[in-house]
Amino acid sequence: MKSASSTLDVLPNEIHVWYAFPDEIRQTSLLSDYQQLLNPAETQQWQRFHFDKHRHLYLIARALVRTTLSRYTAITPSRLQFTKNAYGKPELIHSDRTPQLCFNLSHTDGLVVLGIVSNQKIGVDVENMERQITTAVEDIARYFSPQEVSDFSQIPAHQRHDRFFDYWTLKESYIKACGMGLSLPLDQFTFHIQEKESLRISFAASLNDDPNNWQFWLFDPTPSHKAAISLHRHPGTEYCLVMKKAVPLVSEQDFSCTILNTS
């Protein structure tokens, strides 16, 4: 385990993926240190949560974002400043002296995931697969493209719960990378999920996007969680994931999990 304060650098072909496990971070004095990192708007938001569980998840997510980005930018965690695009996607406010980092955050019951890359659009999604969902074909049609609905309807019923989260996390990560929220029509892009290492996307003409611009990963950080990353790649660059687990302000360690599928 390493200290959680050394400076960090992300190479041009790397995505750094940071995990925090909220259920493992309960020390009262540490949580109060995290509260000190919040700006006034974040403190207000943190106080507004009705359930402790959501308040705790929010605090761990903020602590992971601020302490980790601080190490790449050499800006004190509480002094980092963010802006949001028109659809709410948070971005770092850079100065001439800070690296052009892009990041995206996702949180769900039991896990926070933060993806960091140098100057490329990135989207991250994590979902807890213990969540109840419907896999009835008529219900998924409002989230999936016609081709995805057709592919989904042909897989055996016992595989549908798992496959549903493949589609969901991939589609959500693509939407988040584009940063346009649900204004981007979910039925206008299709993930083709076959065997390992054959993941690909196709686009309806209306989206005017090119599959060659993108690289995707689908993975399961824990037996209960599925995650996906979409990256708008720098032309000609093959990216790799570097994974770390952190207790913000305390420790970090290498983290590994199986990549289920990639492009």
Ligand X SMILES: CC(C)(COP(=O)(O)OP(=O)(O)OC[C@H]1O[C@@H](n2cnc3c(N)ncnc32)[C@H](O)[C@@H]1OP(=O)(O)O)[C@@H](O)C(=O)NCCC(=O)NCCS
Give the C-alpha separation, 8 to 227, whole Å.
24
Judged by the rule CB under 6 A, the positions of this chain that interact with ligand X are: 61, 87-90, 104-107, 125, 143, 168, 171-172, 175-176, 179, 181-182, 186
CB of 167 to ligand X, least distance (A): 7
**CB of 238 vs ligand X, minimal distance in Å:** 24
Smallest separation, CB 172 to ligand X (Å): 4
122 vs 247, beta carbon nearer ligand X? 122
Residue with smaller CB distance to ligand X, 37 or 105: 105
Task: Give the residue among 177, 180, 181, 205 at the shortest CA–CA distance from 190.
Answer: 205
* Ramachandran angles phi, psi of 129, nearest 5°: -80, -5
* Residue 172: both structure tokens together: 């959500």
Backbone angles phi, psi at 233, to 5 degrees: -80, 150
Distance CA 13, CA 15 (A): 7
Minimal distance, residue 104 CB to ligand X, in Å: 5
- CA distances (Å), 6 to each of 2, 67, 171, 223, 251, in order? 9, 11, 34, 31, 11
CA angle 151, 212, 152 (to 5 degrees): 10
Minimum CB distance to ligand X smaller for 121 or for 233: 121
Nearer to ligand X, 73 or 97 (CB): 73
Closer residue to ligand X in complex, CB, 2/161: 161
Q: Find the shortest distance in angstroms from Cβ 50 to ligand X.
A: 16
